Amino acid sequence: MNKIILEVIALVICLENVALCDQSYNRNLLDEKTSNKTIIFDQEGRPEAFVLKRSKRDRLYWGPEFFWARESSQIRGIHIRDKAMYYGLRAGYDFLRPNSLYAGVDFLYAFGRLHIKAYKGKIDFFKDHTRGVVSNGELRLGYNFRGEKPFYFTPYAGIGGYHLRPTRSIHYVQNWLYLAAGMRAEHEVNSTFNIGLNLKGMKALYLEQRVKKHHKYAASYHKSSNALGYEISVPLTIRMGYERNWDLRAEPYYLKLNSHTDTNVIGGLLSFSVRY
């Protein structure tokens, strides 16, 4: 009997406050349909923004990368100048949990067409177009801070390496092992769009350069090095899918690979990713 009385009272209250009941119902419905998100409501009770919960921050990503590189270096009296356009594939994984440890790893393998000029003194002993490859791998560890709005800030340290070489015509190889330190920042503007800023500095632990064209023109250089580098990128992310667990990200960047040489790289990564 008491239960029936309580139900009648609740019905009367609802009839007098239809707007309030509709608002409560809509909020419960949204909570049920978006169990993987936290919903922020405005003062009138309307859904304002979606904030991804902990389970949807990890990213597994892959996609094509394109970049233009220009280099001018010297190896024991032999000067190398080259310009190249590369295209390849980058894949990686980011372990991203709010206010928790961060870990990331990624790999790149790219092909390119180079225009190389090599000379010693006033003698140009090689000038040709050739093909080449670039590979890069990096491991990162840090901490992911979550601020308001929401805003994510992730300082990290890491280790990585580059390998560059033409595939024919001239033997010219660069191997670089480096330490990295940097930060990643990302702002979730709304449920479908994120914008970020990534900054990274690098210090070479080991640097090796070799060039050879016939026995007359050969030189090598390898030792621990104080060469520095840095990278700046701006990721722009579109969130897709009903649960916003698919991303399409465009990430233009500028890379200064080696402070001891005139090496500049301008490129971009177009990646697809799944969050879980």
Q: What is the pLDDT of residue 18?
A: 46
The CA angle 52-53-59, to the nearest 5 degrees, is 70
Q: Is there a contact between 106 and 137 (Cβ–Cβ < 8 Å)? A: yes
**Segments of the chain with pLDDT less than 50:** 18-36, 42, 46, 48-55, 218-219
Q: 55-81 pLDDT, tens per residue?
A: 457 889 999 999 998 877 766 667 777
CA distances to 36, 86, 190, 208 from 46, rounded to whole Å, are 18, 48, 14, 60
The C-alpha torsion from 39 through 183 and 84 to 270, rounded to 10°, is: -10
pTM for this entry? 0.74
Q: What is the pLDDT of residue 37?
A: 52
All domains in the chain, ordered by first residue:
2-50 (no CATH), 55-275 (2.40.128.130)
Count helices and strands in the chain by DSSP H and E runs: 2, 14
Residue pointed to by tokens 């859904």: 47
Q: What is the pLDDT of residue 58?
A: 85
Cα separation, 150 vs 188, in Å, equals 6
Q: How many CB atoms lie within 10 A of CB 265?
A: 19
Q: What is the pLDDT of residue 26?
A: 46
Q: 216-266 pLDDT, tens per residue?
A: 554 455 565 778 899 999 999 998 887 778 899 999 999 988 777 777 899
Crossing angle of helices 18-33 and 2-16, rounded to 10°: 100
**Residue type (1 letter), 196:** G
Query: In the numeric block, which tokens belong to residue 61?
Result: 């990503």
Q: Is there a contact between 96 and 105 (Cβ–Cβ < 8 Å)? A: no
Q: What is the pLDDT of residue 27?
A: 46
Q: What is the pLDDT of residue 131?
A: 84
